[in-house]
Amino acid sequence: MFRLDGKVALVTGGSRGIGRACAAALAAQGATVIVNYVRGEDAARAAADAITQAGGKAEICGFDVADTKATEQALEGLVEKHGRIDILIANAGIAIDGLLLRVKDEDLDRIFSTNLRGTLTCARVLSKSMMRPSKTDPKRSGGRMIFMSSVIAEMGNVGQTAYAASKAALLGAAKSIAREYASRGITVNALGPGFIDTDMTQSMTPAMKEQIVKMIPLGRIGSAAEIAAACVFLASDEAGYITGQVLRVNGGMYV
């Protein structure tokens, strides 16, 4: 079950954290994985090397999802090379925290251009090839898009207005694109991770982490592998009747 043999998956921000775990999990199910990064080429190479050492197929591709032209160019090159990209994991994201009164315009722009516009650019470009069945393999048709939202999109959080707004926008986008592309065999879903142990949450003090754990019924912070497992499921053929949904993987923090 949940095999992805013969499929090609792009994981934006696949070099670290949740994206890296998703890339490894998709490759373990047989997908060829493209690991995207923006600054950390070494980390991306290490993620791809770990996949190939485990017997999987991976390559790296650096581009800034917030740079629309660069993203379009890179994605068109990948489609040309692989024929099509079957699975998009739009995971690249940033958080710049601060109370509303202190939020700067340039921070708003960075958050929205990465988390929202970057995701929509990838979805727009890749949807064209997902709409066309593969010329060489009839089993490769349609596609899977998974947008990495956050529990904060639905709960809100002090100091995360811009981040929450960008992640909530992804929910509306996933639902709309799901409706637009359903007839073409493309499913679009959002994943809503809770607090997950990655570099993004590493800067929190032990006291802050303790406070957060108190809000999680399962009593612990989640792992990137637990998000990756949900990602594999949504990317699989078995999830073909699920579209426009939010899959929350948050230890019960928001139900």
Supply angle C-alpha 79, 83, 85, rounded to 5: 55
Rounded to an integer, what distance in angstroms lies between the CA atom of residue 122 and that of residue 127?
8
Question: 15 or 187: whose CB is closer to ligand NAP?
Answer: 15
Rounded to an integer, what distance in angstroms lies between the CA atom of residue 7 and that of residue 85?
8
Smallest separation, CB 12 to ligand NAP (Å): 5
163 an active-site residue? yes
Residue 189 as a binder of ligand NAP (CB under 6 A): the answer is no
Sequence-ordered list of residues with C-beta below 8 angstroms from that of 241, at least 6 positions apart, any chain: none
Rounded to an integer, what distance in angstroms lies between the CA atom of residue 170 and that of residue 149?
6
Query: Which span sits near ligand NAP by CB under 6 A: 59-67, 98-106, 180-188, 229-237?
Result: 59-67
Tell me which residues in 225-254 interact with ligand NAP (CB under 6 A): none
Residue 12 as a binder of ligand NAP (CB under 6 A): the answer is yes
What are 61's strand-pairing partners? 36
Smallest separation, CB 11 to ligand NAP (Å): 9
Query: Which span sits near ligand NAP by CB under 6 A: 76-84, 136-144, 154-162, 193-201?
Result: 193-201
Residue 147 as a binder of ligand NAP (CB under 6 A): the answer is no
Tell me which residues in 78-97 interact with ligand NAP (CB under 6 A): 91-94
Sequence-ordered list of residues with C-beta below 8 angstroms from that of 8, at least 6 positions apart, any chain: 31, 32, 33, 34, 82, 83, 84, 85, 86, 87
227 alpha carbon, distance to own chain's centre: 10
Angle of helix 17-28 versus helix 41-53 axis, rounded to 10: 20
Residue 38 as a binder of ligand NAP (CB under 6 A): the answer is yes
Residue 196 as a binder of ligand NAP (CB under 6 A): the answer is yes
Query: Which span sits near ligand NAP by CB under 6 A: 101-109, 134-142, 199-207, 239-247?
Result: 199-207
Rounded to an integer, what distance in angstroms lies between the CA atom of residue 17 and that of residue 149?
15
Reading the block at residue 117, the tokens are 């516009």
List residues near ligand NAP by CB under 6 A.
12-13, 15-19, 36-40, 43, 64-66, 91-94, 114, 118, 148, 150, 193, 195-196, 198-201
* Active-site residue list: 163
